[in-house]
Amino acid sequence: MSPSDEPAIVTRGLTKRFSSGQVAVDGIDLHVPAGAVYGFLGPNGSGKTTTIRMLLGLVRPTAGEVSVLGAPMPAAAHRVLGPVGALVEGPAFQPYLTGRENLVRMDACDPSADPATRDARLDRALGRVGLGAAAGKRYRQYSLGMKQRLGLAGALLRPRRLLVLDEPTNGLDPQGTREVRHLVRELAGEGTTVLVSSHLLAEIDQVCTHLGIMSAGRLVLQGERASLAEHRTVRVRATVRPHQVQAATSVLTGLGLEQVGVEGDEVVALLGTVDPAAVSAALVHAGLDLLGLQVLAPTLEQVFVELTGEGFDVAR
Ligand SMILES: Nc1ncnc2c1ncn2[C@@H]1O[C@H](COP(=O)(O)OP(=O)(O)OP(=O)(O)O)[C@@H](O)[C@H]1O
Ligand SMILES: [Mg+2]
Domain boundaries defined on the chain: 9-226, 233-296
> By percentage, how much of the chain surpasses pLDDT 90?
60
pLDDT at 69: 94
Mean pLDDT of 15-22: 95
Q: Within 6 Å (CB) of ligand 1, which residues are found? A: 18, 20, 22, 24, 42, 44-50, 199, 316
Q: Nearest Cα to 141, choosing from 108, 101, 181, 88?
A: 101
41, 48, 50, best to mutate for ligand 1 pocket (most atoms within 8 Å of CB): 50
For ligand 1, atom 2: residue with the closest CA: 18
How far from the centroid of its chain's Cα atoms is residue 205's Cα?
8
**Each residue's pLDDT tens digit, 135-174:** 999 999 998 888 888 999 999 999 899 999 999 888 888 8
Is the domain defined by 233-296 classed in CATH 3.90.550.10? no
Q: Ligand 2 mean position to 246 CA, how many Å?
A: 48
- Per CATH, the number for 9-226 is 3.40.50.300
Predicted confidence band at 234 (pLDDT cuts at 50, 70, 90)?
confident
Enter the pTM of the model.
0.79
Judge residue 273's burial from the number of C-beta atoms within 10 Å of its C-beta, 0-12 exposed, 13-18 middle, 19 or more buried: exposed
Q: 118 near 104, Cβ under 8 Å?
A: yes
Closest atom of ligand 1 relative to the 53 alpha carbon: 18
* Number of the ligand closest to the Cα of 42: 1
